Structure 1
Amino acid sequence: MGDKPSGFRGSRNWIGCVEASLCLAHFEGPQGRLCHVPRGAGIREQLERLYSHFSGGGGPVMVGGDADAQSKALLGVCIGPGTEAYVLVLDPHYWGPPKTPSELQDAGWVGWREVSTAFDPNSFYNLCLTSHDAEKQQHALD
């Protein structure tokens, strides 16, 4: 796309959520809307936004951070009573033919994680919320 030095092509260097959203736009994929969370503890403040995103038909949310270098994708949110909250996390490193949900869960590729343990409170995070319908996604986030 021209945003990286020439040596980046063909490398195994990682890209972040900002670059992923640029790739989605460049290759005319799903729409990607960025949300910056300055500290992981602030993820709790984004739970309603994430819930609206998923309930409005939004796709997976790519997650990248600085101190927390574990890439992850969010597939859902569960907000319980009080301060209880969970996110459905997918490890994007999985590849190959699909396995049964129980096999994926048992191997740790996908599972519900309590928000307080899924995010480093000191790391910043960028979230890339994906949607095929940009207008519908904008409405859900407003």
Structure 2
Amino acid sequence: MGDKPPGFQGSRSWIGCVEASLCLAYFGGPQGRLCHVPRGTGLTGELERLYSHFSGGGGPVMVGGDADAQAKALLGVCLGPGTEAFVLVLDPHCWSAPKNPKELQAAGWVGWQEVTTAFDPNSFYNLCLTSRNAEREQHPCD
């Protein structure tokens, strides 16, 4: 896209959610909308919106943080009674083709995590919410 120095192409350097959103737009992929959460503790305030995103047909949510260097992709949200809440987290470093979902779970590539322990309370997070729809749809962080 021309936003990185020439040595970036072909390297093993990482991009963040902001760059991922730019790539989606540039290469004509699904629409990516950015949402910035100043601290991991603030993600509990985004759960209803994330739930709406997924229940409305929204795609995976890419997650990147500063102090939390473990990239994540969110595939779903489960809101329990009271304050219980879980996110379905996929480790984007998964590289093999599993035979079935249980194999992914057993290897630790995907699983439900309590939202209060899945995110570093001191890290900021950028979320890139993807949409399969070509039309502009209202996203949680608009």
| Pair in the same fold by TM > 0.5 | yes
The 5 Å alignment of 1:1-142 reads 1-133=1-133, 135=135, 137-138=137-138, 141=140
Q: Could you tell me how far apart the structure 2 residues matched to 1:123 and 1:9 are?
A: 28
Which stretch shows the higher mean deviation, 1-10 or 46-55?
1-10
In the superposition, the TM-score normalised over structure 1's length comes to 0.95
Q: C-alpha deviations, 1:70-108, integer Å up to 9, x for none? A: 001000000111110000000011112233111111110
2:125 corresponds to which letter in structure 1? Y
Q: C-alpha deviations, 1:22-50, integer Å up to 9, x for none? A: 00000000000000000000000100110
Match of 1:54, SS state, is helix
Give 1 or 2: higher helix fraction: 1
Match of 2:15, SS state, is coil
Whether the 8 Å CA contact 1:68–1:123 is kept in 2: the answer is: yes
User: Identity across aligned pairs (percent)?
Assistant: 81
Task: Specify every segment of 5 or more residues in structure 1 that has no aligned partner in the other structure, as ranges.
Answer: none
Match of 2:137, SS state, is helix
Query: Number of residues paired by the alignment?
Result: 141
Q: Could you tell me how far apart the structure 1 residues matched to 2:47 and 2:88 are?
A: 12
Match of 1:130, SS state, is strand
Task: Specify every segment of 5 or more residues in structure 2 that has no aligned partner in the other structure, as ranges.
Answer: none
CA displacement at 1:136 relative to structure 2: 6.4
CA RMSD of aligned residues (A): 1.3
